[in-house]
Amino acid sequence: MATAAARSSPLPRLTLLVRAYCHLCDEMREALAPQAAAAGYAIDEIDVDADPALEARWGAQVPVLLDGARELCHFRLDHAALAAFFAAAAR
């Protein structure tokens, strides 16, 4: 049985950098959501166009999936890379 602290601890998080009216962003969001949920991860979405520093760094590669500052993939969801990331994180 899980302790109260374990039940209340936040989910690990991934960051998805997106922009409005981006079909690749929509596709990655839809593909990522069920896999992240199954692995127990939450997804934080950030609009790169709302932050000049993010837009300068990542704007040409959107959508971008990040674990902290580490890029997991961009443009399209890399299912193999994501599965490897989740497997490594579970160890």
Domain boundaries, the chain: 12-90
Top-level class of domain 12-90: alpha beta
Q: How much is the pLDDT for 11?
A: 87
Note the pTM of the prediction, 2 decimals: 0.87
Q: What is the pLDDT of residues 2-60, one digit of tens each?
A: 444 445 558 899 999 999 999 999 999 999 999 999 999 999 999 999 999 999 999 99
Residue 72 CB coordination number (10 Å)? 18
Return the higher-pLDDT residue of 76 and 90.
Answer: 76
Nearest-10 crossing angle of helices 23-39, 79-90 = 30
pLDDT of residue 85 exceeding 80, the answer is yes
